[in-house]
Amino acid sequence: MEKKKKFSKAKLGLSSLIALIALSFAFVGFQCSSAELTSAKLYMQRSEWDKAETHLMKEVQANPQNEEAWYYLGRVRAELKNWAGMNEAFQQALKLSDAHKKDIYAVVDHFWVQYYNTGTKYLQSAKDSSSYYQKAIDAFRTAIEIAPDSEMTYRGLAYTFLNMGSVDSAKEPLTYLWTKYRDEESAKFLGEIYFEDGQKIKDEFNNENGDKLVKLKDVNAIQEGMTKEEVASDLGQPDEKQTPPVPQKAVKGKRGMPLQSTQQETWVYKTYGLTLVFDGDKLKQKKVDFVYNPGVDSTKYFQAVEVFKKAINILTEANKLYPSNQAIMTELTNCYIAADMTDQAADAFKVASERNPGNKDFQYNYGVILLKAKDYEGAISQFEKTLKLDPEYWNAVYNLGAAYVNWGVDIQDNAPANSDPDSIRKVVSEKFQNALPYLEKFAQHKSDDPSLWELLAKVYAYTNQIQKAQEAIQKADSLRQGH
């Protein structure tokens, strides 16, 4: 997998609305108007908005069915910048009649355009000075108060937060855009944000429990066939070493010669609940007296998984709506792997890859999931399909080589105690040999990665290509020293 990238600056992608809608306060005649409404209109002509609002409030309280009074109350409140009150009055007017519907929309558009344009200009100015970010936020928030359902305004607010680095604050407008409009870009950003949130919590878990997790891994890795040196390297010296007594009379074979017997020895690790029986230098039998619990606090791990699931829920639906969006698919893959949900991911990506055989990204991402699940044969098949579609899909080139290497290492690590070492080495060597063309090709593409050359050195050494192994390790050393 590619390393997780940090957020890039959100592209503005917004254009200011140039023309402001002109408002006219030319009023209809005063015929048949109540005294309160008539007085309000006079105050409006004088721009005495507070007094106009007072008379209009009296009118709607006395005559709640007066659509005209509600309309003018909305206009007055707009001038007073009481946006919630404006919308409340306009909604009451529209419930009663459509008589002023066109005028109502004109008022809302007039003020919304003012603040939206202001927010956009401040956001553009923030490229030169970060002091403009808060001004842009204030303007966009006001525009949202004026027109609460404006997609463009939420997008401007979200981009402002992302560009200024306030990722947590961006969640609210991005969630609105995704929930209401199923916006493609918002889903991608939310997926990235929740992935980063989950990864931070998971890193805290690993940092707090790192030593315990390593020791638990070492204990669980003990298996038959390991040497005494390997066991001692992982677990240290045992609490007890027990050797059975040597028989006084040697047991003789069929021809009267003493039978050769390897000395057995038992190692007892009380802390880890292990009793290990060695036959000579090799571990013959592993007895688990109790399941070792190093006291790992998994609270933060499960918190991280829940955050990853938030991202997965959004990205799964977004992936269905926008199947060609590689960024969404990659983010979904990252979240599945981080949450240790490779089984669920494999089912989802298998369906996607089968339905889209010509989509190299679907084939590749399914391969990554299979590789994580240690289904090496399946992963190799998917990476090969990817490279048939695009021979220079470099991540697939590298991961195809890595799949063969990991496969070989797995075979070596999990070989039965009674297996023939030469046969195992031959099989592992074949896997490593299969990996080399892809690792070498990737090294030509990305020759400045010391870790890659170190991996190549190990593979060369195992396949008895000593000269190439030496050259590869020299290359790695040179790169690490900055030459």
Lowest mean pLDDT among 1-5, 80-84, 232-236, 446-450: 1-5
Instruction: Provide the pLDDT for residue 10.
Output: 53
Residue 361 zone, left/alpha/beta (φ > 0; ψ -120 to 50; rest):
alpha
Q: Does 27 score more than 70 pLDDT?
A: no
Instruction: Provide the pLDDT for residue 29.
Output: 42
Instruction: Provide the pLDDT for residue 252.
Output: 53
Instruction: Provide the pLDDT for residue 14.
Output: 53
Instruction: Provide the pLDDT for residue 342.
Output: 86
Q: What are the tens digits of pLDDT across the range 7-16?
A: 444 544 555 5
| Spatial separation of the C-alpha atoms in residues 137 and 115, rounded to whole Å | 10
Annotated domain spans of the chain: 35-99
Q: Does 172 score more than 90 pLDDT?
A: yes
CA–CA–CA angle 52, 57, 61 (5° rounding): 155
Lowest mean pLDDT among 42-56, 180-194, 250-264: 250-264
Average pLDDT, the chain: 89
- Choice between 80 and 29, residue whose per-residue pLDDT is larger: 80
Lowest mean pLDDT among 7-11, 229-233, 267-271: 7-11
Name residue 269's beta-bridge partners: 274
Residue from 231, 219, 196 nearest 310 by CA: 196
The helix or strand, by DSSP H or E, that contains position 309, with its residue range, turns out to be: helix 299-321
pTM: 0.75
Tell me what the mean pLDDT of segment 333-343 comes to: 91
Residue 369 zone, left/alpha/beta (φ > 0; ψ -120 to 50; rest):
alpha
- Choice between 344 and 418, residue whose per-residue pLDDT is larger: 344
Tell me what the mean pLDDT of segment 285-311 comes to: 94
Tell me what the mean pLDDT of segment 156-167 comes to: 96
Instruction: Provide the pLDDT for residue 351.
Output: 85
Instruction: Provide the pLDDT for residue 18.
Output: 46
- Give Rg (Cα) of the chain: 35
Q: What are the tens digits of pLDDT across the range 142-151?
A: 999 999 999 9
Q: Which CATH architecture has domain 35-99?
A: Alpha Horseshoe (1.25)
Q: For the chain, what percent of residues have pLDDT higher than 70? A: 89
Tell me what the mean pLDDT of segment 197-214 comes to: 94
Tell me what the mean pLDDT of segment 24-35 comes to: 54
Q: What are the tens digits of pLDDT across the range 353-391?
A: 888 899 898 899 899 999 999 999 999 999 999 999 999
